[in-house]
C-alpha cells in the first residue's frame, strides 16, 4: 500500500546489502563483483577486487544510519535538522530525492511493509 504522504514512509536497510561503518560513522557500501567476466579476469591474474567499495559522505552516512525500520521519513528529517541545522536545507526535498535514489536506483533500502488494519 502506497502512503499518501511520503513523509510517513518507513524504510529499512536491504537485508542483502553488505556495508561497513568506520569509527567516524562513515558508511562504505560493499558490492560483490562476481560477474563471470570478473571471475575469469581474476583467473588470468588481473587485479580485479572482489568488492567495489562506495563510501558515503557525512550527510548520506547520517541518513543511512538513521534508517532503522522504525523511523519515518519525517522522523529522519527531524534528526537530520537537529544534527545539521540550516546546512540540511532544503531538508525534505533533498532527503526525499536521496531516499528515492538509494531505494530505486541503488537498492540499498526497501520500504517497510505496513500492516493493514
Compute the distance between CA of residue 113 and CA of residue 95 in angstroms, rounded to an integer: 20
Q: Is residue 41 part of a domain?
A: no
| Higher pLDDT pick, 115 / 39 | 39
Q: Is residue 10 part of a domain?
A: yes
- Summarised one tens digit per residue, pLDDT across range 25-69 is 999 999 988 888 888 888 888 888 888 999 999 999 999 999 999
Helices (H), the chain: 36-43, 58-66, 73-84, 91-100
- Give the largest CA-CA distance in the chain: 57
Q: Is residue 35 part of a domain?
A: no
Evaluate if residue 114 carries a pLDDT over 70: no
DSSP 32-54: E---HHHHHHHHTT----SEEEE
Report the SS3 class of residue 62: helix
Handedness of CA 90, 87, 54, 16 (dihedral sign): negative
Q: Is residue 61 part of a domain?
A: yes
Q: Is residue 95 part of a domain?
A: yes
User: Would you say 29 and 108 are in contact if contact means Cβ atoms under 8 Å apart?
Assistant: yes
- Domain enclosing residue 89, as ranges: 6-27+56-107
Residue 47 pLDDT? 86
User: Would you say 30 and 51 are in contact if contact means Cβ atoms under 8 Å apart?
Assistant: yes
Residue 65 pLDDT? 98
Residue 115 pLDDT? 62
Residue 1 pLDDT? 46
**pLDDT (average), residues 88-100:** 95
Residue 43 pLDDT? 87
How many distinct structural domains can be found in the chain? 1
**pLDDT (average), residues 80-84:** 95
Amino acid at each position: 500500500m502506497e502512503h499518501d504522504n511520503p513523509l510517513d514512509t518507513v524504510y529499512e536497510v536491504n537485508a542483502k546489502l553488505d556495508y561497513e561503518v568506520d569509527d567516524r560513522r562513515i558508511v562504505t557500501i560493499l558490492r560483490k563483483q562476481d560477474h563471470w567476466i570478473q571471475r575469469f579476469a581474476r583467473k588470468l591474474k588481473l587485479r580485479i577486487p572482489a568488492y567495489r567499495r562506495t563510501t558515503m559522505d557525512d550527510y548520506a552516512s547520517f541518513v543511512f544510519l538513521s534508517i532503522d525500520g522504525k523511523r519515518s521519513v519525517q522522523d529522519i528529517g527531524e534528526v537530520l535538522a537537529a544534527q545539521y541545522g540550516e546546512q540540511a536545507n532544503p531538508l525534505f526535498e533533498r532527503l526525499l530525492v536521496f531516499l528515492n535514489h538509494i531505494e530505486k536506483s541503488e537498492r540499498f533500502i526497501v520500504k517497510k511493509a505496513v500492516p493493514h488494519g
